[in-house]
Amino acid sequence: MLIRESSARLALIELGDLARNDLPSWLEKHEESLREIVEWASSYLSRPHPEVGRKGHVCPFVKTSMNRELFYLAVESGVPKSSAETAEVLRGYRDWFVELARQHGGAAQYTTILVLFPDLPRDRVVEIIENTQELLKADYVSHGLMIGEFHDGPPAKSGLWNPEFRPLKSPVPLLAIRHMVPTDLPFLKDDPEQLAEYLRRYGKQSPPAMAAPPPARERGEDH
Assign 206 a pLDDT band (cuts: 50, 70, 90).
low
- Residue 196 in any domain: the answer is no
* Residue 216, pLDDT score: 40
- Residue 95 in any domain: the answer is yes
- Residue 216 in any domain: the answer is no
- Residue 213 in any domain: the answer is no
Least confident of 59-63, 80-84, 135-139: 59-63
Q: Which of 75, 7, 59 is nearest to 221 (CA)?
A: 59
- Residue 198 in any domain: the answer is no
Each residue of 101-118: pLDDT tens digit? 999 888 999 999 999 999
Check residues 113 and 52 and name the one with the higher pLDDT: 113
Domain that holds residue 65: 2-180
User: Number of folded domains in the chain?
Assistant: 1
In this predicted structure, the answer to whether residue 143 has a pLDDT above a threshold of 60 is: yes
In this predicted structure, the answer to whether residue 209 has a pLDDT above a threshold of 70 is: no
Each residue of 13-30: pLDDT tens digit? 999 999 999 999 999 999
- Residue 186 in any domain: the answer is no
Least confident of 51-55, 89-93, 185-189, 206-210: 206-210
